[in-house]
Each structure stands twice: as C-alpha cells, then as structure tokens.
Structure 1
Amino acid sequence: MTNPGRPRTPPRRRRRTRKLVITSVVIIGLLVAVDFGAAAVFEYQVSKRAREQFNLTDDPAVKVHGFSFLAQAFSGEYDHVSIDAKGVPVQDTLRDLEVHVDLQGVLAPLGDLLSGSLKEVEVREVEGQVRVKASDVSRAILENKNPLVSSITNLTIDPISEADVQSDPDERSEEQQAAADRAQELEDDDDTRAGAKICASGDIGGEQTDFCAYGLITLIEAAKAKFTPSRLEVRNSVLGSGELPEQFEADILTMLTVTLDPGELPFTVTPTAVNVEQGVLSVKGKAFDVVLGGSGE
C-alpha cells in the first residue's frame, strides 16, 4: 500500500540539513568566543589605564556593555564601558571606598587594540561616583571624640526625604504631610544635598543606646560631603524611647556632624551632586572629552 501522507525526506537531504545546522552552531559558537576574547583584550587595556589614572594597587574591573563587541570594535567606538574599583583607601579614615565610572562614547581604533599599541583611550563623556560605605562613616564619626560616647556599632545609612529630616512624619498634620509630599516630588537625585538617616548603637553615658540621626548630606567643596543632623531619636533601658537632656543631645549631634573627604573624583570629574543609598553616601559628577593615557606596555 502507498502512504497517502507527505513524502519522506530522502536520507541524503536529512544528512545535509543536519550538517548545515551543526556547522552553523559551530560558527556561531566561534564568533561568540572571538567576541568575548576580543572584549577581554579591550577590557584589560582599559583596566591598565584606569589603574594608572586612579593610582590603584590592583587593576579595576572593566565591563563593555552591549552586543556584539566586534561590531563596536570595527567602528572604533564603544557605547558604554563601566569601571569598578573596590576597597580604595584614602588616608586612615576612609579605607573602603568604591569607585564607579560610566564611560559613554569610548574611542579606540581596532588596529591599535589588536596590535597592543593602544597608547590612549578617548572618551566623549564620563560619569564618576565615589561611594563611602557605612564602615568608613562610622570611623569618621568616632574621630569626633566625645567623652559621652565610648563606642559605635552596627551603623546603618538610609535615604529619607528632606521633610523627614526636619520633622517626624507621625507627628505631622494632614496639611503638613501634604506639603511634605509635594516637596518630595520636587527633590532631584542630581542635587547638592540629600536627606539621610544614620542609625547606630553606642555606649552613651554608660548605657547601651540605640539612636538615629536625621540630617542632610551636602556637597560643600571639591568632592567633600558633610552630614549635618537636625534631630535625634534615642532608645535605651533608662529612657525607653525618649529624649536625652538638651546639652547631651547637642553634644551627640555635634559628634555626628562629619565631613567626608574621598579625594578627587576620577578623570577630573567635577562633583555636582550627592546621593544617599542604603548603606552608602556618595559624591558624583560628570566630565567630557577625557583621555585615559598611559603606556601601551
């Protein structure tokens, strides 16, 4: 009997199709491997120059974004390259800074890249950020010695609105809360000041005390940022959740007023804003038409 269905594909054609599929997969795999390999070479070259620019002891991590790398390499321009360096020390207080840089429009000729003769990398736009972690903020606060406070532990940082810096949301009227909400909508992430809540535990006057300071982190000069607390909340076994005597509170707020100096931003970036994230205070800014120089060794 004959099969009324579709005719069978000849075995020779099936084998040819299978070979084409396998060949295509192999070629794609090779192209992907070459793409990643070429990207690794480029990232190494940029990392060396960034290390010199940052004056680091180790090469920072470099990542080329977008696919494919080779398509960008043939054009000689890379849309987005990021650089991250961790554990960067500045003097004795700030020992664990993080540096994050976004490079937009990175120009590097493919021929120079492949030959290893790449002497410099031109960048159309740079956005740099130096992040100060809670551990460094804790050390900076303890440098403001206060006889009432013998230790600080478990320090945390959280972003808050500028309205929350001035008053407790639970104590506002509906009209005050509405005004605070409107003001928060107008706040800008790229501003020279931002609200921050810094909480910690400490030995205050011999009592283990939990406290939270509400204040503004402000860009004051160069890349320096200053935290100025406006109000304080405390809790311990004696006070419960209450207030310290006025002079004690004033002394604690003075101790918590701290200036952080993370040094110059990378690539001569001009500081333009401060930012508060969970566990981090940061200074950031932009620069244009920057050159990453260095030897091509």
Structure 2
Amino acid sequence: MTTMVANSGRPMAPPKRRRSKAVRRLVITLVVLLGLLVAADFGAAAFFEHEVSKRAQQQFDLRDHPSVTVGGFSFLAQAVSGEYDMVTVDAKGVPVNVLRDVEVHAELKGVRAPLSDLVSGSITGVPVREVVGQVKVKAADVTRAMSVNENQVIRSLTDLKIDPVSEKAVSTPPADGAETEDESEVADTEGGTAGVRLCGTAEIAGKSTELCVFSIISLSERKIAVSPKRMELRNSDSDVKLPPSVQQRVLPFFAIELDPGDLPFAVTPTSVKVEPGVLSVKGKAADLVLGKS
C-alpha cells in the first residue's frame, strides 16, 4: 500500500520574486506611459493655445498676445473630436482712449479646430459656436476719466473705490445720522442698469473728506454711463450734510461716460455689472469665426 504524503510546505521563494518583479515592471511601464500622455496633453494644449492666441490678437487688434486657456479634462480627447468645450481669452492693460488699463475677457464655447489642421497650417479661421465677451474698467481708469472734470474737488479725488449696491440703495438715502450699509452681497445682478457706490477722498474746506456718490450705471451707445443720484460726505469731525439743493448743483459734475472700446469679437453689449473695484460691460454672440483671413 502506497502512502500519499500531502505537501504542506510554503510556496517556493523564487516564483514569488518573479511575480513581484513583473508587477513592478508593469507599474513602472504604466507610470511612464501616463507621464508621456500627460506631457503630450500639455504640449499639444500649449501649441493650440498659442495658435488661438495669435488669432485672438488679430481679432482684438492687440499689441501683445492675450492669455488663452483650454478648459476640459483632456485636451487630446477634445483634439481628436476637433471641438473644444471652453476656451478663455484674457487681455490686460489694454489702452482705450483716456483709459489705460482695460481688461478684456472672452469665453469661447464650442470651438471647432482640429489639431491636425492647426499643425499643418491649413486652417484659416476657427469657428466658435458661442462667445461671451466682457470688458472691465478699473477704479484707476474711472479716476483718470474724472480728472478731466472742470470741478477742482472732483479732479482732486484720490483712492477711488468702486462697490456694488442695489438700485434701491442708490435712490433711498438712509435715515438721519446713519450711513448706507454695505450691500455688496445683495447688490443687483447684471442687467441693463446697476447700482454703484463711488467713494474717494478730497480736500473740502481744508479738511480731508470721504466723498461717496451713489449712481446708476447703464449702457449708452456701447459706453458705460454713470448717472449720480445722491452723495454722502464724511470727515474726521462728523458727517457733512449737504442740502438737496446743493447736491443737485454738485451731482452733475460726477456724470461721466466711460468708453471701454468694443467688446471682443464684435459682441453686442447687452448688460452692465458692478463688481468690487470694477465696472464692466458684457454681451453674447453666436456662430463666429476667430481669426478669419
């Protein structure tokens, strides 16, 4: 009778080492391939952004190339399809008339540009399904526009601050002895008009005085029209109360029009908006061609 003896010993060490080495090689290979794909993705995206930037520079008639960023998870996946979900274009420090620091922002949706056409140079224009364009005017440029005013007090305004307020706060003065509350979080959304508080410092009767003008901004032939409605003055002593009759004589000096230039890609302006430190104009357009020659 033959007796069967079960092998209860542990697995031999050499096969285990071979499997461990194989797993490590596989992991290293996958990491290298992933790195190459990421590098290729970034490289292709950088090339595409440069090409779009050149065409945007032509479209904006800018001195320098604007910044271009492609959105979405994988650039190469979008390049294969030939359509890009979102491309943003930003240009800063654009001079327009008396303004010197206008910002241009555009969101391009549904950009159709096969990477192969861009690489070969065979593409003459980049079709875009929809564009949201915006130009922004900063406080320094608003101050610059006010400096041409004939009123010496207004010309001397410094440290101008821009804050959004509701249109109701513009038209409704606070109770006697009170200040208009900060409404930046509940201010009106973008639309045909918006409320704004412009505050600066000026010398009035020999004292440094904070002067706040509450105004409505609106679109006026593609320009930002600032229509002052009331004002508040404060200095180190107390609030300075100006009689309504005096305010009505002074307020017109604060009425200005700001020309931020055309919106990008000939977008028609449809709304204005106030953000902290910024007045902006915004609009939309559809079915455009970028950099068409």
- Percent identity, please: 53
Larger deviation, residues 29-38 vs 145-154? 145-154
Shift of the alpha carbon at 1:23? 0.5
- Matching of residues 89-104 of structure 1 within 5 Å: 89-91=95-97, 93-104=98-109
Aligned equivalent of 2:179: none
CA contact (8 A) 2:148 2:155 kept: no
Match in the other structure for 1:289:
287
Which segment is superposed worse, 277-286 or 263-272? 263-272
Contact between 1:150 and 1:203, CA under 8 Å: does it hold in 2?
no
Per-residue CA deviation, residues 180-238 of structure 1 (Å, 9 max, x unaligned), is: x9xx98x86341100111100012344321111111111121x211111111000125x
Cα distance, 1:278–1:4 mapped onto 2, change above 3 Å: farther
Find the aligned partners of 1:101 and 1:218 in 2 and give their Cα distance. 21
Say whether the 8 Å CA contact 1:146–1:251 is kept in structure 2.
no
The residue that corresponds to 1:38 in the other structure is 44
Out of 136, 139, 156, the position equivalent to 2:141 is 136
Partner SS state of residue 10, structure 1: helix
| Mapped pair 1:118 → 2:123 | yes
The amino acid across from 1:284 in the alignment is K
* Map 1:79-98 → 2, pairs under 5 A: 79-91=85-97, 93-98=98-103
Amino acid at match of 1:12: R
Residue number in structure 1 paired with 2:215: 215
CA distance in 1, matches of 2:245, 2:9: 100
Question: CA separation of 1:143/1:284 partners in 2, compared to 1, >3 Å: closer, same or farther?
Answer: same
Q: How far is 1:247 from its partner?
A: 5.5
User: 2:72 aligned with 1:73, yes or no?
Assistant: no
What are the within-5 Å matches in structure 2 for residues 218-233 of structure 1?
218-221=218-221, 223-233=222-232
Give CA-to-partner distance per residue, 1:11-69, whole Å, 9 cap, x none.
Answer: 01100100000010000000000000000010001000111111111000000001100
Counterpart in 2 of 1:270?
Answer: 268
Matched residues in 2 for 1:49 and 1:123: separation? 13
Residues in 2 aligned to 1:198 and 1:293: alpha-carbon distance in whole angstroms: 38
TM-score, reference length from structure 1: 0.87
Give the corresponding residue for 1:155.
160
The structure that has the greater radius of gyration is 2
Distance 2:12 2:233 in 1: 84
Does the 8 Å CA contact 1:213/1:232 hold for their aligned counterparts? yes
Q: Which residue of 2 aligns with 1:14?
A: 20
Query: Which runs of no fewer than 5 residues in structure 2 stay unpaired?
Result: 1-6, 177-182
Give the whole-Å Cα distance in 1 for the aligned partners of 2:113 and 2:197. 43
5+ unaligned residues in a row in structure 1: which ranges? 172-180
Counterparts of 1:119 and 1:224 in 2: how far apart (Å)?
32
- From the superposition, tell whether residues 259 and 6 of structure 1 become closer, same or farther in structure 2 (CA, over 3 Å): farther
Within 2, Cα distance between the matches of 1:4 and 1:196? 84
Structure 1 pair 166/245, CA: closer, same or farther in 2 (3 Å)? Answer: closer
Counterpart contact for 2:154–2:253, Cα < 8 Å: no
Structure 2 length as normaliser, TM-score?
A: 0.88
Higher mean C-alpha deviation, range 148-157 or range 226-235: 148-157
What count of residue pairs does the alignment treat as equivalent? 281
Change (3 A) 1:4 1:46: same
Q: Secondary structure at the match of 1:83?
A: strand
Query: Which stretch shows the higher mean deviation, 195-204 or 246-255?
Result: 246-255
- Matching residue of 1:59: 65
Aligned partner of residue 291 in structure 1, secondary structure: strand
1:189 aligned partner: 189
**RMSD, matched Cα:** 2.6
Q: 1:268 to 1:36 in 2, by over 3 A?
A: same
Q: 1:4 to 1:136 in 2, by over 3 A?
A: farther
State the Cα distance separating 1:257 from its structure 2 match.
1.2
Matches within 5 A, 1:227-266: 227-237=226-236, 240-244=238-242, 246=244, 248-266=246-264
